[in-house]
């Protein structure tokens, strides 16, 4: 049986991230936790929506959501919005 390993998200903890979710939705907030299934805890979150008829990369704030848990299988991508430490330590 294949072994499941945790996603490499430690460097994003306590940093602002943008999470793209199935259905064309986005959340922006601070990553507070995650697990091996990519379930995410996002604090100080804001939902962003694409206005009807908008073209390109135009998003606007829809709602302040506070702390949310995002189910891992609905996450399509995660992007860091702050600089992170990329040094590899052994």
Prediction pTM value: 0.81
Mean pLDDT confidence for 67-86 = 90
pLDDT band at 90 (very low <50, low <70, confident <90, very high): low
- Lookup result for tokens 């704030």: 61
Q: In the numeric block, which tokens belong to residue 23? A: 């259905």
Q: Strand 60-70 vs strand 40-49: parallel, antiparallel, or unpaired?
A: antiparallel
CA angle 41, 46, 48 (to 5 degrees): 120
Model confidence over 51-74: pLDDT tens digits? 777 777 788 888 899 999 999 999
CA distance 7 to 86: 15
Q: Tokens in use for 67?
A: 């702390």
- 10-33 residue pLDDT tens: 999 999 999 999 988 899 999 999
Cα angle 69, 78, 46; round to 5: 50
Which pLDDT belongs to residue 1?
63
Domains of the chain: 11-80 (2.30.30.100)
Amino acid 75: pLDDT? 96
């Amino acid at each position: 049986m294949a072994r499941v390993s945790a996603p490499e998200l430690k460097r994003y903890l306590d940093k602002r991230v943008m999470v793209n979710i199935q259905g064309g939705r986005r959340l922006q907030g601070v990553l507070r936790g995650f697990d091996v299934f990519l379930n995410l805890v996002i604090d100080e979150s804001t939902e962003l929506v694409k206005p009807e008829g908008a073209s390109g990369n135009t998003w606007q704030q829809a709602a302040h959501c506070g702390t949310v848990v995002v189910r891992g299988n609905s996450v399509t991508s995660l992007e860091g919005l702050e600089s992170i430490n990329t040094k590899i330590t052994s």
